A and B are shown apart, each in its own frame.
Chain A
Amino acid sequence: MRELRPALFLFILFTVICGGIYPAIVTGIAYAVFPNQAKGSLIVDKNHREVGSALIGQPFSDSKYFWPRPSAATDFGYNPMGSGGSNSGPTNPDYLKTVADRVKALRDSGVLGPIPADLVQASASGLDPDITPAAARLQIPRVAKARGMAVAEVSRVVNEHLKERQFGFLGEPRVNVLELNLALDAAK
Chain B
Amino acid sequence: MNVYEWLQTILFFVLLLALVKPMGTFMAKVFQGERTFLSPVLIPCENLVYRICGVDKDEEMGWQRYAVGLLLFNLASGIALFLILLLQGILPLNPQKFPAFSWHLALNTAISFMTNTNWQAYSGESAASYFTQMVGFAVHNFLSAATGIVVAIAAIRGFVRRRTADLGNVYVDLTRCTLYILLPLSIIFAVFLVSQGSIQNFSAYKTVPLVQETNYDKPKLDDKGNAIKDAKGNPVTENVKVKEVTIPMGPVASQEAIKELGTNGGGFFNANSAHPYENPSPLTNVVEVFLILLIGGSLTYTFGYQAGNPRQGWAILAVMLAILWVAIAVNYGAESGGNPLVAKLGVQSVNLEGKETRFGLAGTSLFTTATTGTSCGAVNAMHDSMTPLGGMVPLALILLSEVVFGGVGTGLYTMVAFVVIAVFVAGLMIGRTPEFLGKKIEVREMWMSIVIVLTSGILVLIFSALALLVPSAVASMANPGAHGLSEVLYAFASMSNNNGSAFAGLNANTVFYNVSGSLAMFLGRFAPILASLAMAGSLAQKKYVPPSLGTLPTDKVPFALWLTLVILIVGALTFFPALSLGPIVEHLIMLGGK
Spell out A's residues near B (CB within 8 Å): 3-11, 13-15, 17-20, 22-23, 25-27, 29-31, 33-34, 37-42, 49-56, 58-62, 65, 69, 75-93, 95-96, 99-100, 103, 107, 114-118, 120-132, 165-172, 174, 178, 181-182, 185
With A115-B348, A121-B342: A11-B354 Cβ-Cβ less than 8 Å? no
Q: Bound complex: CA of A124 vs CA of B196, how far in Å?
A: 19
Closest to B210 in A: A58
Closest 5 CB pairs of A and B: A171-B282, A87-B505, A124-B274, A89-B483, A85-B382
Q: Is there contact, CB below 8 Å, between A125 and B171?
A: no
Q: Is there contact, CB below 8 Å, between B211 and A85?
A: no
> Which of B269, B385, B388 lies in contact with A87, CB distance below 8 A?
B385
Q: Is there contact, CB below 8 Å, between A76 and B215?
A: yes
Q: Is there contact, CB below 8 Å, between B194 and A34?
A: yes
Q: Bound complex: CA of A168 vs CA of B5, how far in Å?
A: 11
Q: Bound complex: CA of A65 vs CA of B214, how far in Å?
A: 13
> Which of A23, A54, A125, A131 lies in contact with B254, CB distance below 8 A?
A23
Q: Is there contact, CB below 8 Å, between A19 and B271?
A: no
Closest to B267 in A: A83
Contacts of B348 in A (CB 8 A): 114-117
Q: Is there contact, CB below 8 Å, between A38 and B357?
A: no
With A83-B271, A185-B211: A41-B197 Cβ-Cβ less than 8 Å? yes
With A59-B212, A124-B382: A26-B271 Cβ-Cβ less than 8 Å? no
* B275 on interface, CB distance cutoff 8 Å: yes
Q: Bound complex: CA of A23 vs CA of B195, how far in Å?
A: 16
Q: Bound complex: CA of A86 vs CA of B504, how far in Å?
A: 9
Q: Is there contact, CB below 8 Å, between A124 and B183?
A: no
Q: Bound complex: CA of A40 vs CA of B194, how far in Å?
A: 9
- Closest approach, in angstroms, between the C-beta of A110 and any C-beta of chain B? 14
Q: Bound complex: CA of A76 vs CA of B68, how far in Å?
A: 50
With A34-B194, A121-B353, A169-B8: A83-B275 Cβ-Cβ less than 8 Å? yes
Contacts of B171 in A (CB 8 A): 6-7, 10
Q: Bound complex: CA of A7 vs CA of B338, how far in Å?
A: 51
Q: Bound complex: CA of A54 vs CA of B254, how far in Å?
A: 21
With A7-B72, A87-B504: A81-B248 Cβ-Cβ less than 8 Å? yes
> Which of A31, A41, A125, A178 lies in contact with B356, CB distance below 8 A?
A125
Q: Is there contact, CB below 8 Å, between A30 and B345?
A: no
Closest to B383 in A: A87
With A19-B135, A30-B253, A124-B380: A80-B248 Cβ-Cβ less than 8 Å? yes
Q: Is there contact, CB below 8 Å, between B191 and A30?
A: yes
Q: Is there contact, CB below 8 Å, between B280 and A55?
A: yes
- Of residues 102 to 153 in B, which have CB atoms within 8 Å of A's CB atoms? 123, 125-126, 134-136, 138-139, 141-143
